[in-house]
């Protein structure tokens, strides 16, 4: 296999992994605060359609990126109000958010079907992009890829090296104790949920402005659920999320290369590979209770109602 072919494969893996990484990083922060938001898929699809629409209207892909981030954060607010202020069931509310997002995105995106997209072009660093094998991989990527790497490092630094990150973990591990210490638990969780929504929106923008620069209904294709699984796979540790995202990105791309090589496996089975891998990983993790409980926020999914 020639270096050019290897580089092309690695480029597709990185592109497929980027939205998973961004969405999973946002959800990791949400779950570290003790909130389980299953609406990642819905927020991603809203980010994809609003990002594509804003780019179409303004002619600027950066306007699309900004619109996707804002709309993703705003779309997370109904979930936050219902689960945090009204203490509704987080699982049911998150599922409802996903269904709502898919429906709203389909309605908004109907006018954009078939339109050519406004692509967010790659950043090519002179001279460095021409380095064999790794040049385009490291120095010729789209801007959102570099944002995803910065996001991963930033989330790790925030959670483990800042006072605010310590507060976030305290709220996720014991919201009652955090409240007794004077921490505004609801404010911390509201901010965490909105951050997760913004990340999901950015992940959706990557799909409609970079990965497939056009609008296709249901184009997230379950990536929000894979992002949720990644957080568990990574034991709520940011740098493990990076590894998991690229592993799942490789599995996603493997199906296309297998089909191109004429592998005698039904195409439907190849298309199901990423989701089969997700199920297998979750089964393996859940079978080991020690691994399941490691780093799991103790208050995850539990409603908090302040007594005063």
CATH number at residue 211: 1.10.3470
* pLDDT for 260: 63
**Per the domain annotation, does 298 fall within a domain?**
no
* Rounded Cα–Cα distance for residues 287 and 161 (Å): 32
Domain that holds residue 38: 3-293
109 or 255, which is more confident: 109
Contact 262, 33 (CB under 8 A): no
131 or 56, which is more confident: 56
The pTM of this model reads: 0.92
114 or 164, which is more confident: 164
Q: Is the pLDDT of residue 103 over 90?
A: yes
Q: What is the mean pLDDT of residues 246-274?
A: 71
**Per the domain annotation, does 7 fall within a domain?**
yes
Percentage, residues of the chain above pLDDT 90: 62
* pLDDT for 261: 64
* pLDDT for 1: 60
Q: Is the pLDDT of residue 257 over 80?
A: no
The 10s digit of each residue's pLDDT in 12-54 is 889 999 999 999 999 999 999 999 999 999 999 999 999 999 9
Q: What is the mean pLDDT of residues 267-289?
A: 70
* pLDDT for 126: 82
* pLDDT for 256: 67
**Per the domain annotation, does 306 fall within a domain?**
no
* pLDDT for 134: 80
* pLDDT for 13: 87
20 or 291, which is more confident: 20
**Per the domain annotation, does 303 fall within a domain?**
no
How high is the mean pLDDT of the chain? 88
122 or 153, which is more confident: 153
**Per the domain annotation, does 27 fall within a domain?**
yes
Among 142-151, 236-245, 272-281, the least confident range: 272-281
- 256 contacts: CB under 8 Å, gap ≥ 6: 12
What distance lies between CA 103 and its chain's CA centroid? 19
* pLDDT for 105: 95
* Rounded Cα–Cα distance for residues 301 and 77 (Å): 17
* pLDDT for 2: 67
* Total domains in the fold of the chain: 1
Contact 64, 52 (CB under 8 A): yes
**Per the domain annotation, does 307 fall within a domain?**
no
* pLDDT for 288: 67
* pLDDT for 109: 92
**Per the domain annotation, does 304 fall within a domain?**
no
**Per the domain annotation, does 10 fall within a domain?**
yes
Torsion sign, CA atoms 209, 13, 252, 94: negative
* pLDDT for 4: 67
The 10s digit of each residue's pLDDT in 202-243 is 999 999 999 989 999 889 988 999 999 899 888 899 998 999
- For residue 5 the two structure tokens come to 């072919």
* pLDDT for 80: 97
**Whole-angstrom Cα Rg for the chain:** 20
């Amino acid at each position: 296999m020639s270096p050019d072919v290897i580089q092309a494969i690695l480029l597709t893996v990185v592109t497929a992994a980027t939205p998973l990484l961004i969405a999973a990083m946002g959800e990791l922060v949400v779950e570290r605060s003790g909130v389980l938001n299953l609406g990642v898929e819905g927020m991603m699809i809203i980010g994809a359609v609003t990002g594509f629409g804003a780019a179409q209207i303004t002619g600027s892909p950066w306007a699309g990126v900004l619109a996707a981030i804002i709309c993703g954060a705003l779309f997370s607010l109904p979930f936050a109000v219902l689960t945090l202020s009204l203490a509704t069931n987080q699982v049911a509310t998150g599922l409802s958010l996903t269904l709502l997002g898919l429906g709203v995105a389909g309605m908004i995106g109907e006018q954009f079907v078939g339109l050519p997209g406004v692509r967010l072009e790659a950043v090519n660093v002179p001279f460095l992009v021409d380095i064999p094998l790794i040049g385009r991989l490291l120095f010729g990527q789209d801007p959102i890829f570099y944002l995803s790497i910065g996001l991963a490092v930033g989330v790790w630094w925030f959670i483990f090296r800042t006072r605010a990150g310590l507060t976030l973990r305290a709220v996720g591990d014991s919201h009652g104790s955090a409240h007794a210490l004077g921490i505004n638990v609801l404010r911390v969780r509201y901010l965490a949920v909105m951050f997760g929504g913004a990340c999901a929106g950015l992940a959706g923008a990557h799909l409609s402005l970079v990965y497939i620069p056009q609008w296709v209904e249901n184009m997230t294709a379950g990536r929000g659920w894979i992002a949720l699984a990644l957080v568990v796979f990574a034991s709520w540790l940011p740098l493990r999320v990076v590894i998991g995202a690229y592993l799942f990105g490789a599995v996603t791309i493997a199906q296309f290369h297998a089909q191109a090589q004429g592998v005698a496996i039904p195409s439907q089975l190849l298309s199901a590979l990423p989701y089969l891998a997700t199920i297998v990983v979750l089964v393996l993790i859940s079978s080991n209770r020690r691994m399941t409980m490691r780093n799991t926020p103790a208050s995850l999914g539990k409603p908090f109602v302040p007594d005063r």
